[in-house]
Structure 1
Amino acid sequence: MNLAEIDRRAFEDVAAAELRGLEFVLPRLGKIADHGVLWFGLAGTLGLTGIPALRRGALRGVIAIGLASPSINLLGKQLFRRRRPLVHNVPPMRILRIPGSHSFPSGHSASAAAFATAMVLEAPKRVSLPVVGLAASVAFSRIYTGAHYPGDVLAGILSGVAAGLTTRLFWPVPARAHVAHFDRVIEHRDPQGAGVVVVTNNDPETIADLRNELPHAEFTDCQGDLEGKLEEAAGRARVLAVCGGDGTVGTAASAALRHGVPLLVLPLGTLNHFAKTLGIETVSDALDAYWSGSLAYVDVATLNNVPFLNTASFGAYSEMVDRRERMQKRIGKWPALAVAAFRVLRRATPVDVVVNGEPRQVWLAFIGNCEYGKRGAVPTARDNLTDALLDIRLVSVKRRLRRLRALAVVLAGRMWPLSDYESWVSQSLTIEADAPLRVAHDGETENARPPIVFRKHPKRLSVFVPI
């Protein structure tokens, strides 16, 4: 008995099966999934939750469907041209319509598996497992309603899973990094927040729930003088809590280090890379970390003794940040970033510097606090915040064609390295130049006077992390 015969017999067994309660549900579930409507609707619903993991899963799912659907409909079906099953044994009440396209592989099953795989990669089990169950139901409905043979569905599922996993090649799945834990939790910790000074520039409605959760905490508005307010707060705090993105958190880390107090990161900024690396994606995650009292040591890097927690850079990227900041109030952050990237592509030129005593013409330089992903000129994600290393990546570009390739790597992230790409790890880096360099660190830019010295300070900053 060959595979085609086994497939037909399995189809006939399903056609003859009577599943009480599903005769009405499964055909309509398959119809709702036509053209991905079910999955796009679910993605929109998950996106509206505001929960980062669910929003990422929804976006990854849509991208995965975008990869799976053309490969199935434009390649798979045209290549194999398998006819649809004969439905004379399928009860008429299950057949809502007979598709006119070829049968192998199943496009419905591919889209369902692609979306479910993306959710498994990103979302917690309490959300991803029901999505997997829904996807399995859609796939089974294609056999139950006579639209596909089981082999069509299996091939569609495998194609969808492959599409979901393929998204990891250009969009790594965030993972909580390794940290060095204290042997004890913080002492004299008040669950209602006594001794906690919260520095924020968010509107009152955004932090209203936070005030309710920490009624004994002191709240300070840092608008206008962020560095000064953080310095004052750290001087009188037992715990310094900061609301904001990476730039604000980096400034808070400087104050926390000077005063020797632990830092509680509340991810309420536009970009929250450091918080996500700690496993803190929401304010609820941060509060859970505080209430558990779980502290960790993490590494800090410095640029001429100014601490940064994620990355520093000079060259094209710092110019792009400056251009984006000048435009983002008028047109929004992401459109401003796109316009800035285009203008940098047209006008940026390499900078002449001396790197650890060796002359270089550098178009783009990244220096990471701890080692990031292995490939490409742009750091992506870290799995260790205590490795005592700087991740150094340089791209030297002179000709326009190579500049286009370099910018493609900057925007796309994990790509294969360029011929002019160098990377290594070290505990220090010295940059010399004839004039001050515009340097970006944790999303902020400044003029740095050479020599510019980057150094690593292992396990220096204490932060709250979820257990």
Structure 2
Amino acid sequence: MIRHLKAPLRQVGARDRRLVARSAALPWTPADGLLMALTRSANKGRLWWAVAAVLATRKGPVRRGALRGIAAVAAASASANLLGKPLLPRRRPAADWVPEHRRLVRRPTSSSFPSGHAASATAFVTAVTMESPRTGAALLPLAAAVAYSRVHTGVHWPSDVGAGMLIGAASALATRHWWPLHPAPPSRSAHRAEAPTMRDGEDMLAVVNPGSGDADFDPTDEVRFAWPKATIVYPDPGTDLRDQLAAEIRRHERVRALAVAGGDGTVAAVASVAADHGLPLALIPAGTFNHFARDIGVRSMPDADAATEAGAAVGVDLGEVTISGKDGTVRRWFVNTASLGGYPEMVRLRERIERRHPRWPAAAIAMVRTLRRAQPFAVRLDGRTALVWMIFVGNGTYAPKGFGPYYRPALDTGLLDVRYLRADLPYSRARFVLAAVTNTLSASHVYRQYDLPSLDVELLGAQRRIATDGEVGPLGRVFRFRSRPSALTIYRL
């Protein structure tokens, strides 16, 4: 069957020849030089990496689109160049089919079918459109110009470009198999909560962390606009934020609500104080990822302002972990996730590398180094002995259930999402990677996932650090995780 398929694809039809001849007959215009520069810039996907770097500076769907776009380009490039070209070889158009001023100095020598440039361009724009339709529409002319430039410069037949575009679109859509699109509605919570109406933020303490997220953006102005009567508190680098905020509450005669403008780490610290003191919390997302704000459904300052003005709030679950070690016992709340194993070490390494490199490269370097030198550790999980590489505990039940938990459909389940990677089976890391790539983790023997109201973890070796909401926590040997239903009241319309 493959032999019968290869024969017609290797041949060049009359329609391809007519279209190339029509393109070659177009008169000279300044666009000729632009198309030649554009086609060279897209070699090896360099153009799309540059566009992704620009898009990644934006938060929310635009940044997610950039990341999904790079993943789609990698899949499309591999499909076109490593599979399509060797299996379906075809001669490229002869150089003299196009005018001399359009010919590339270095003409490609690989198979003409399919076009890798067209595949990458279509994959990137399709993937970006899936996350941010407006951004994708803005990039569509650029992708179309890259695809056509391959015919204009005489290095591809039109059918090569068409096949590449199909491969690119399929590669972008295939990313949903491993990376589902985040649903537009916020996570559910059936528990409405009583919260005071906070007009102008009177009797409110608002924590503002200018160091969260974009270093060039200070959320102070947004907080002052939303709640001009609120008392603003800035984190003291030499003091634990929880202790600092608790002291501020004691110092003020009347505090009816707390607010926070920062990333997930700052939000988690303020949320823990709000839960301890029974105070409602208003949230302005101002971090890098803002996972908790995204799930809550608070996208920006106006969302938080409107909810406090209306006194609209819901009760959401919090995760609690009690950490026991040589230095005593400590309790921590977490709004998103907690983990043991490679992740805390990766966070510490990333922070050191960030002193010399930007955050994104630092995170990539830290991940590679951590995985390479990871060591398994023995534990008791609710009394059962196991050897594991890492343990993940989510506040609430996350989706998808395979690799890469991304969002929570509900915030009031009263359950923890427990996942761990076994280390007692041969080639467990390789088997984990293979199962993650093929999206078969649910059937893998090295991966375990449970929804539980609580989990007790006892380390059978040396103490380890826990990471909660991306922040490295204290050392411990025994970790008791609990879901605390409706422990936090948060403003949300």
**TM more than 0.5:** yes
8 Å contact from structure 1 (residues 179, 385) kept in 2: yes
Q: Does the C-alpha gap of structure 1 residues 8 and 196 become closer, same or farther in structure 2, counting only changes over 3 Å?
A: farther
Q: Does the C-alpha gap of structure 1 residues 415 and 24 become closer, same or farther in structure 2, counting only changes over 3 Å?
A: farther
Once the two structures are superposed, residues 136-194 of structure 1 have per-residue CA deviations (whole angstroms, 9 ceiling, x without a partner) of: 3443454567654442222111111233344455555555552227779976343x544
Once the two structures are superposed, residues 50-80 of structure 1 have per-residue CA deviations (whole angstroms, 9 ceiling, x without a partner) of: 4343334334434433433344345433433
Is 1:301 matched with 2:319? yes
Give the corresponding residue for 1:273.
291
User: Following the alignment from structure 1 to structure 2, what is the Cα–Cα distance between the partners of residues 409 and 381?
Assistant: 23
8 Å contact from structure 2 (residues 454, 481) kept in 1: yes
8 Å contact from structure 1 (residues 227, 251) kept in 2: yes
Q: Does the C-alpha gap of structure 1 residues 254 and 211 become closer, same or farther in structure 2, counting only changes over 3 Å?
A: closer
Unmatched 5+ stretches in structure 2: 1-7, 323-330
Q: Secondary structure of 1:198's match?
A: strand
Give the corresponding residue for 2:268.
250
- Give 1:259's aligned amino acid: H
Q: Secondary structure of 2:207's match?
A: strand
TM-score after normalising by structure 2:
0.73
Q: Does the C-alpha gap of structure 1 residues 387 and 409 become closer, same or farther in structure 2, counting only changes over 3 Å?
A: farther
Alignment of 1:379-458 (within 5 A): 379-398=405-424, 402=427, 404-405=429-430, 416=441, 419-431=445-457, 438-442=465-469, 443-447=471-475, 450=478, 452-458=479-485
User: Following the alignment from structure 2 to structure 1, what is the Cα–Cα distance between the partners of residues 187 and 483?
Assistant: 17
Once the two structures are superposed, residues 212-235 of structure 1 have per-residue CA deviations (whole angstroms, 9 ceiling, x without a partner) of: 534433211221241123335567
Alignment of 1:343-362 (within 5 A): 346=373, 348-353=375-380, 355-362=381-388
Alignment of 1:45-444 (within 5 A): 45-47=54-56, 49-84=57-92, 96-97=102-103, 101=109, 102-122=111-131, 124-140=132-148, 142-143=150-151, 148-168=156-176, 173-175=181-183, 177-180=186-189, 188-190=197-199, 193-202=201-210, 206-211=218-223, 213-214=225-226, 215-223=228-236, 224-232=239-247, 236-269=254-287, 272-279=290-297, 285-293=299-307, 295-304=313-322, 306-318=332-344, 320=345, 324=349, 327=352, 335=362, 338=365, 342=369, 346=373, 348-353=375-380, 355-376=381-402, 379-398=405-424, 402=427, 404-405=429-430, 416=441, 419-431=445-457, 438-442=465-469, 443-444=471-472
Q: Secondary structure of 1:12's match?
A: helix
Q: Does the C-alpha gap of structure 1 residues 19 and 196 become closer, same or farther in structure 2, counting only changes over 3 Å?
A: farther
User: Following the alignment from structure 2 to structure 1, what is the Cα–Cα distance between the partners of residues 302 and 356?
Assistant: 36
Q: Secondary structure of 1:197's match?
A: strand
Q: Secondary structure of 2:210's match?
A: coil
Q: Secondary structure of 1:302's match?
A: strand
Q: Secondary structure of 2:398's match?
A: coil
- Give 1:108's aligned amino acid: H
Q: Secondary structure of 1:178's match?
A: coil
Once the two structures are superposed, residues 80-103 of structure 1 have per-residue CA deviations (whole angstroms, 9 ceiling, x without a partner) of: 33234589998x59x722655443
8 Å contact from structure 2 (residues 401, 449) kept in 1: no
User: Following the alignment from structure 2 to structure 1, what is the Cα–Cα distance between the partners of residues 336 and 391?
Assistant: 14
- Give 1:256's aligned amino acid: A
- Give 1:139's aligned amino acid: A
User: Following the alignment from structure 2 to structure 1, what is the Cα–Cα distance between the partners of residues 94 and 366?
Assistant: 55
Q: Does the C-alpha gap of structure 1 residues 359 and 46 become closer, same or farther in structure 2, counting only changes over 3 Å?
A: closer
User: Following the alignment from structure 2 to structure 1, what is the Cα–Cα distance between the partners of residues 303 and 244?
Assistant: 24
Give the corresponding residue for 2:15.
9
- Residue 258 of structure 1 and its aligned partner are, at CA, apart by 3.1
- Residue 135 of structure 1 and its aligned partner are, at CA, apart by 1.9
- Residue 109 of structure 1 and its aligned partner are, at CA, apart by 1.4
Is 1:34 matched with 2:37? no
TM-score after normalising by structure 1:
0.76
8 Å contact from structure 2 (residues 124, 172) kept in 1: yes
Q: Does the C-alpha gap of structure 1 residues 75 and 35 become closer, same or farther in structure 2, counting only changes over 3 Å?
A: farther
Between 241-250 and 143-152, the greater mean CA deviation after superposition: 143-152
Give the corresponding residue for 2:3.
none
User: Following the alignment from structure 1 to structure 2, what is the Cα–Cα distance between the partners of residues 396 and 406?
Assistant: 10
8 Å contact from structure 1 (residues 322, 445) kept in 2: no
- Give 2:121's aligned amino acid: A
- Give 1:162's aligned amino acid: A
Q: How much is the aligned-residue C-alpha RMSD, in angstroms?
A: 4.6
- Residue 366 of structure 1 and its aligned partner are, at CA, apart by 1.9
Aligned residues: 452
User: Following the alignment from structure 2 to structure 1, what is the Cα–Cα distance between the partners of residues 93 and 438?
Assistant: 44
